[in-house]
Structures are given as structure tokens and as C-alpha cells.
Amino acid sequence: MKITIMDRDDGEEDEIIVRCRQMDEQLLKMIYALKAGTEKLTVMREGSILQVLPKDIYYFEAVDNRVFCYLEKEVLETKRKLYEVERQFAGTDFFRASKSTIINLAKVKSLSPSFHGRFDAHMKNGESLVVSRQYVPVLKQKLGL
């Protein structure tokens, strides 16, 4: 694979051109990751509107018909539904771990088997989340196991 990087002129938008014989899964994942990494997510904090980068998000959780975005030390609310978040970050490090949780695998410190076929995801910020047994096969596939 050949990679060419060129400087752009002032006022020009950054651009990535992909030339390939055939799109494969690895190339699609790379494109999704590039796209998701630059798309900011709009969230709320005490009435203020903010934008956060996906790389800063540890996980999303739905509670009482509201969706919360967990950063390292902060919890923010998004107006999106969990399925919309899942769709937006499809093909990236974000993974549906349960009916109410989407985890950023890049922020997982370790995974360990738990009771009844579930897994525990130990996050880099010290929190632990449960991966429901229904989603364990998808997790294994995503990790290449």
C-alpha cells in the first residue's frame, strides 16, 4: 500500500482520496474510523451546548429515556437515541454491549468473563460495565477472537 501526504493551500478543505482495486473490510473500517474521529457529537451540560470528539467518549448509557455520554470524569447528555448513536459510530471502536450501553473499545483496559456468559469491561477510568451475553459473540468477532 502506498501512502502519499501533500500540503494543502490555505482555505482548502482537508481531503483524503482512496484509490483501490477493491474495497475490503479493513479499508472500510479505516474510512469509518477517520470519519467518526472528526465528527463531533453535540451534548448538553447544565443547559449549555458542547461538542465532544468520539475519542474522548468512554461509553453511552440510556437511562429513563435519556442518553448520557460518559467522558473520563464527566457525564453529559445527548439528545440522540441510543440506536442513532450506534448507527453513527458503526464500523468504529464503539460497540453495543447491552440494551442500554454502547462502549468505546479503545477505552477498555481489560475484559474478563463473568457469570452466565457475560463479560465485564473494565474501563481505563476505573469503571466496570457489563457486556450482556447476547452481545458477547459480536464482541469476540470485533476483537478477532
Query: What whole-number distance in Å separates Cα of residue 78 and Cα of residue 83?
Result: 12
What are 73-104's pLDDT values in tens digits? 999 999 999 999 998 888 788 899 999 999 99
CATH topology of domain 25-143: OB fold (Dihydrolipoamide Acetyltransferase, E2P) (2.40.50)
Query: What whole-number distance in Å separates Cα of residue 143 and Cα of residue 53?
Result: 23
Between the CA atoms of 74, 108, 87 and 79, what dihedral angle is there, to the nearest 10 degrees?
Answer: -10
- Record the pTM: 0.74
Task: Per residue of the chain (145 residues), give pLDDT as tens.
Answer: 677 777 878 888 777 777 777 877 777 777 666 665 557 788 988 888 998 988 899 999 999 999 999 999 999 999 999 999 998 888 788 899 999 999 999 999 999 888 888 899 999 999 999 999 999 888 888 887 7
What are the grid coordinates assigned to 59, written together? 461509553
